[in-house]
Structure 1
Amino acid sequence: MINSGESVRLAFSWLTVLPVGGPATVDRKSAARAIAATPLTGLALGIGVTGLLWVLTLAGLTPALAGIVTVGAHALVTRGMHIDGLSDTFDGLGCYGPPERAREVMYTGGAGPFGVAALVVCLGAQALAFAELASADRWGTLVIVVFTGRVAVVIACRQGISAANDRGFGALVAGTQGPVAIGAWTAVAVAASTSFGSPPWFGPVATAVVLGATVLFVRHCARRFGGLNGDVLGATLELTVTALAVTVSATAT
Structure 2
Amino acid sequence: MFHARFTARFKARFTARFNAALDALRFSFGTLSVLPVRVNRWDRPTAGRAILLAPLVGLVLGGVAAALATALAWAHAGPLLAAVAGVSVLAAATRGLHLDGLADVADGLGSNRPPEAALKIMKASDIGPFGVLVLLLTLLAQVAALARCFELGLADGAFGVLLAAVTARTALLRGCQVGVPSARPDGLGAMVAGTVPRRQGASVAALTLAALGLVAYGIARTGDNRLPLALGAGLAVVAGLAVASLLLTHCVRRFGGITGDVLGAMVESAATGTLIVWVLFAAATP
Paired residue type of 1:251: F
Q: 1:223 to 1:92 in 2, by over 3 A?
A: same
Does residue 127 of the first structure (1) align with residue 143 of the second (2)? yes
**Superposition CA RMSD, Å:** 1.7
Q: 1:57 to 1:206 in 2, by over 3 A?
A: closer
Q: How many residues align?
A: 252
Does residue 191 of the first structure (1) align with residue 207 of the second (2)? no
Aligned partner of 2:31 in structure 1 is 14
Aligned partner of 1:223 in structure 2 is 253
1:246 CA drift (Å):
1.3
Instruction: Tell me, yes or no, if the aligned pair for 1:141 and 1:193 is still in contact at 8 Å.
Output: no
What is the SS of the residue equivalent to 1:89?
helix
For residues 169-214 of structure 1, the C-alpha deviation after alignment (integer angstroms, 9 at most, x for no partner) is: 1110011111232112221232134326552533323322331232
Aligned partner of 2:184 in structure 1 is 165
Aligned partner of 2:170 in structure 1 is 151
Instruction: Tell me, yes or no, if the aligned pair for 1:189 and 1:207 is still in contact at 8 Å.
Output: no
1:141 CA drift (Å):
4.1
Moved more, 42-51 or 214-223: 214-223
Q: Which among 88, 111, 124 is matched to residue 95 of structure 1?
A: 111
Aligned partner of 2:86 in structure 1 is 70
Aligned partner of 1:81 in structure 2 is 97
Provide the C-alpha distance between the structure 2 equivalents of 1:162 and 1:219, rounded to a whole number of angstroms.
11
1:31 CA drift (Å):
1.2
For residues 119-159 of structure 1, the C-alpha deviation after alignment (integer angstroms, 9 at most, x for no partner) is: 11111111121222222221234312211110001111111
Paired residue type of 1:209: A
TM-score by length of 2: 0.83
Instruction: Tell me, yes or no, if the aligned pair for 2:243 and 2:269 is still in contact at 8 Å.
Output: no
Paired residue type of 2:243: A
Q: 1:209 to 1:60 in 2, by over 3 A?
A: closer
Paired residue type of 1:43: L
1:95 CA drift (Å):
0.5
Q: Which among 106, 116, 121 is matched to residue 105 of structure 1?
A: 121
Does residue 140 of the first structure (1) align with residue 156 of the second (2)? no
Instruction: Tell me, yes or no, if the aligned pair for 1:38 and 1:151 is still in contact at 8 Å.
Output: yes
Instruction: Tell me, yes or no, if the aligned pair for 1:144 and 1:192 is still in contact at 8 Å.
Output: no
For structure 1, the 5+ residue unaligned runs are: none
Instruction: Tell me, yes or no, if the aligned pair for 2:182 and 2:258 is still in contact at 8 Å.
Output: yes
Aligned partner of 1:43 in structure 2 is 59
- Correspondence list, 1:21-32, <5 A: 21-23=38-40, 25-32=41-48
Higher-helix-fraction structure: 2
Provide the C-alpha distance between the structure 2 equivalents of 1:179 and 1:246, rounded to a whole number of angstroms.
28
What is the SS of the residue equivalent to 1:125?
helix
Aligned partner of 1:214 in structure 2 is 244
What is the SS of the residue equivalent to 1:252?
helix
TM-score by length of 1: 0.93
Structure having greater relative contact order (Cα 8 Å, sep ≥ 6): 1
1:76 CA drift (Å):
1.1
What is the SS of the residue equivalent to 1:3?
helix
Provide the C-alpha distance between the structure 2 equivalents of 1:75 and 1:97, rounded to a whole number of angstroms.
29
Instruction: Tell me, yes or no, if the aligned pair for 2:101 and 2:261 is still in contact at 8 Å.
Output: yes
Identical aligned residues as a percent: 36
Provide the C-alpha distance between the structure 2 equivalents of 1:54 and 1:209, rounded to a whole number of angstroms.
25
For structure 2, the 5+ residue unaligned runs are: 1-15, 218-225
